[in-house]
Amino acid sequence: MPTSAALAEPPPTPRPGDRRSAGRPTPPRLDDQLCFAIYVASRAVVQAYGPLLQELGLTYPQLLVMMVLWERDAITVSALGERLMLDSGTLTPLLKRLERAGLITRRRDPGDERRVRIRLSGVGAELGPRAGEAHRALVCSLGWHVGAAPDVLRRALLQLTRQLQRPGEP
């Protein structure tokens, strides 16, 4: 997996009209920012998912919740939040909407009343294969295939996320 040093780009070459002075700190340039490239790519991915989401009747965050449940049903709300890196204030409204749509159920854990378990309904479970087909069609429409550039990029972004969540750790 590439290290952060391997992902670093060389400093930009000053362009005509730049107000940069040698040896003085300069304001950051938007086009030089990794965070901007990630932000724009993220928005483009969500936009590309638009037709898939419309067909499934889900928002992108709801699709992420459903993906976790298709992988592992009957998960606790806290485990779901950890998996998606979302707090309960963000997750609860998503879960309420999914429950109202009849895609999930929320029930107290009989073994520990403090925990709430989320389960797929029959309708929610049936949505999984449709979502998988639509996802594969989207990936193919981009000309990508499993194991290609997207996997390398995904791994690098996950590593970046881990590093940002634990600054100072290798």
Q: What is the pLDDT of residue 64?
A: 94
Q: Percent of the chain having pLDDT more than 90?
A: 52
Instruction: Tell me the average pLDDT across 54-63.
Output: 92
DSSP letters of the chain? ---HHHHPPPPPPP-TT----TTS--PPPGGG-HHHHHHHHHHHHHHHTHHHHHHHT--HHHHHHHHHHHHSSSEEHHHHHHHHT--HHHHHHHHHHHHHTTSEEEEEETTEEEEEEEEE-HHHHHHHHHHHHHHHHHHHHTT--TTSHHHHHHHHHHHHHHHHHSTT--
Q: What's the whole-model pTM score? A: 0.76
Instruction: Tell me the average pLDDT across 95-124.
Output: 94
- And the tokens for 31? 């086009």
Instruction: Tell me the average pLDDT across 50-56.
Output: 89
Q: What is the pLDDT of residue 152?
A: 83
The answer to whether 65 touches 95, Cβ cutoff 8 Å, is yes
What are 134-155's pLDDT values in tens digits? 888 888 887 776 556 677 888 8
Would the pLDDT of 16 be above 70?
Answer: no
Q: What is the pLDDT of residue 150?
A: 76
Class of 51-165 per CATH?
A: mainly alpha
Maximum CA extent, the chain: 68
What amino acid occupies position 140? C
Would the pLDDT of 35 be above 60?
Answer: yes
What are 66-98's pLDDT values in tens digits? 999 999 999 999 999 999 999 989 999 999 999
Among 7-11, 32-36, 39-43, 46-50, the minimum mean pLDDT is found in 7-11
For all residues of the chain together, what is the average pLDDT? 85
Instruction: Tell me the average pLDDT across 53-65.
Output: 93
The answer to whether 35 touches 43, Cβ cutoff 8 Å, is no
